[in-house]
Structure 1
């Protein structure tokens, strides 16, 4: 590799290490500054998060059903490298990660026991809770991933450009500038956003794995145990990343999907079945009916505390994950059409998330029949233990909790090994198969970043850090939309099937 191409690697690595040491050496200062940034962004730019995420949904669906939908992400004769099931398993494991397990019970309970309006514990609060989790884990995050993922896949497989975020901007700034200092700055930021966003999820996973082991086996909840958890899982995810997509990442992702489905099925069997079905049906109705309104709902004069703590946090979290998840999804999506890509990345995972929250949310809300609102509020206040506390109130809860801990570990690994592979790509001039040495190094850096964030204040610091890292990437994503449209309009022709025959329709 040419020396000049190593600038992105060295600068991004140095920047990440500096933040790691900042979090470890001056944890209180780190927490204070992160909190100040979060307050500023929430108060003055909450509207930007809401508006941009809605734009991503509309733009992605427009592309899927437009005349560009039949364009292949690769040569016209290319075919998908992975089966649809394995493709879904890899993108789902990378895109949602530990969050589904961490918040599956805790978030619906939190909205149910402390809604921004209305009476806590009421049927209205329950409906609001399910509608909110559908919004937070539905079309918006996946559309956000699809924008960058589609652009990257299009340029690297159809236009034979490097697998770098900077390649997306070639139609806007030109190839020379994309390879120059502007492009390098974009790639450095993408790497830093990836490290920060993934470290957030790794920290959440570590806290919940520790809480599960404490609840099940009385293992202490402290930094020492958390460091051991991070060490063990780090070794596993680095090994799977080093073994490559086909042998390591795909295998773990397939296992993860089967375990997640098994856990879901077990909870349906022991859970309140009618409530689960009703929550799913009613939640979908509320979600669709209020989609635009909820996407843009922000108070001009009242308190936006709930909005900042939940929706804006999520939107920032998903945007922080976009460089990593988008790059990884692009890497595994060669040969699929634009429509197939967008529908597979947005609709299928969203439906899976709706079912997931209907099951686990209903199991938590159903406990209102025998537990007081104050008890439920205390359960929601400890999201890392909420799942295990709720499961303990059902038959075979202890056994299912063990399955849940195992799933946490596999989600942890699928997110981290995908990110490790992507970081290797982004810091190796877009090499689709980066060196093992580079993947190992980034795997270690991610683990250190997660440790630093945990030591600097736990979940609060993780939340604020993710928002701070994500904000500038809003504008990168919007420019990516402009770039992909410009590139697609320059396509010479597109094959459209008409009455059983292939007819070329010129779109340039």
Structure 2
């Protein structure tokens, strides 16, 4: 029997629901009415945000990671989410599976091969790599730096964003009996805060979540379409991507209608089993010893260069590489954070804060690093010592890189089919988890949001993903993530400081300590 989680919401919040639906519909309608102007506007907005505020995103993410480390090693880490007698609702394996499926999902397959080979073939200007120098030593250095950058984008910084928001929301909901929403956190931190201001923050959270998840769904549709084209010659067309989005969104709608335990939990576990099976096959069938060596060396490189990589801003080289990679990733993770944070908080009742932070930071990160090593270093091995060609495929089309890579393995068609299925299940887990969380926000933090809101938001995410692909393709998806992620970074900084303040206030009610 599942543990009864406290802090249930008060029901439907019309201001948040209709406000967020209206804003998303208005933005999408405006884009669809004037296709060409919308595409140009998306590009201009993305350039303005990334060029002028990239430094702010890098600083924000570093501060969030520092806050996580501080809370974990301090006395605050002994506090249990839900109080001393709280028991976890899910086993650790189920918890880790849901954490991982919600937190990274589609991007692991979309970027697992493409990102390392793109960094290798087109490295940024830095002290650790030199573009266009074709010597054995420099190629090896570029390959190592490519994996270090990949670890940076998918490592501790990304998960620190999720940890901060999840911890703040979970603490207020489970230890203070409030609803599981950002508005509840802010009202707890500042009781005199006007309700309209709280509702506006929740609207921003919903819009950020919908845009962030829609970005992933668009990537997933492009990846599935590339796989079907590789297997059956269906063709890389916008119509095919729309059909894919419609089909998989219907599966996500069914899953979210079944709820957290019957739908999302079971699908996440099946998804993890498929993903691990594919990774293990590639590890065994590929250059196994090279991959194991690379995993250890990559970890060492990431640790040694951690501060440099974390604070590098291209200031002295004047490059624009980070705009397309690091800045986009940080904004994408931040736009995902309301969804992933609330979802992680929802499934983490009963964990101590230290267990929660270490479990959410270290376990998914190590698995992600191993995944990126298996896929990324296998591709780099082919580029360095084999026939090559994967970097060119990635440059031509990011979604095609994975299937160009799988051509170098036996059972290519079977592996490619498995990859398509895994992307589809990641698609579903992202959409149904996101829909559940958005429904919770729009329902005043209700943990068991109603059937109609859950289904409504699942469909809305699919529609937005399709609309953004139609308007400007992957560029429009990236812009949506960046534009919504940037303002929400301010909310995350407030939550980081506010969480420490609330826990301290409860541990030391008389001001001691």
TM-score normalized by the length of structure 1? 0.94
Aligned pairs for 1:150-165 within 5 A: 150-165=167-182
Tell me what 1:181 maps to: 196
Note if 1:265 corresponds to 2:273: no
| Structure 2 counterpart of 1:123, from 140, 149, 170 | 140
- The answer as to whether partners of 1:5 and 1:429 remain within 8 angstroms in 2 is yes
RMSD: 1.8
Instruction: Give the equivalent residue in structure 2 for 1:234.
Output: 249
Correspondent of 2:61 among 31, 53, 56: 53
SS in structure 2 of the partner of residue 221 of structure 1: coil
Partner of residue 33 from structure 1, selected from 41, 51, 64: 41
Q: Deviation per CA, 1:142-165: give whole Å up to 9, x if none.
A: 000000000011001110111111
- Extract unaligned runs of 5+ from structure 2: 1-8
Quick check: 1:98–1:205 contact (8 Å CA) kept in 2? yes
CA-to-aligned-CA distance 1:373-404 (integer Å, 9 cap, x gap): 7x633434411111111111122222111111
8 Å CA contact 1:148, 1:480 repeated in 2: yes
Q: Which residue of 1 aligns with 2:372?
A: 357
Give runs of aligned pairs for residues 80-479 of structure 1, distance below 5 A: 80-117=88-125, 118-120=130-132, 122-174=139-191, 176-177=192-193, 180-368=195-383, 369-371=385-387, 376-479=391-494
Residue equivalent to 1:78? 86
Q: d(CA) in 2 for partners of 1:372 and 1:492?
A: 58
Residue 73 of structure 1: how far off its partner (Å): 0.8
How much does 1:299 deviate?
Answer: 2.8
Aligned to 1:46, the other structure's residue is in SS state helix
Q: In structure 1, what is the equivalent of residue 5 of structure 2?
A: none
Q: 2:31 aligns with which of 23, 41, 64?
A: 23
Question: What are the ranges of 5 or more consecutive residues in structure 1 without an aligned counterpart?
Answer: 495-504
Residue 301 (structure 1) shift? 4.0
Q: Deviations over 1:379-430 (max 9, x none)?
A: 3441111111111112222211111111001100111100010011000011
Say if 2:187 and 2:198, in contact at 8 Å, map to a contact too: no
The structure-2 alpha-carbon separation of the partners of 1:158 and 1:114, relative to structure 1 and needing over 3 Å to count, comes to: same
Checking the alignment, whether the CA contact within 8 Å between 2:13 and 2:443 is kept in structure 1 is: yes
Give the length in aligned residue pairs: 495
**Matched residues in 2 for 1:123 and 1:2: separation?**
58
The alignment's TM-score, normalised by the length of structure 2, stands at 0.93
Aligned partners of 1:196 and 1:202: how far apart in 2?
10
Query: Residue in 2 aligned with 1:490?
Result: 505
Report deviation, 1:132.
Answer: 0.6
Q: 1:243 to 1:304 in 2, by over 3 A?
A: same
CA distance in 2, matches of 1:187, 1:412: 24
The Cα shift of 1:482 comes to 1.4
Residues 2 and 395 of structure 1: CA distance in aligned 2, closer, same or farther (over 3 Å): closer
Shift of 1:493: 6.3
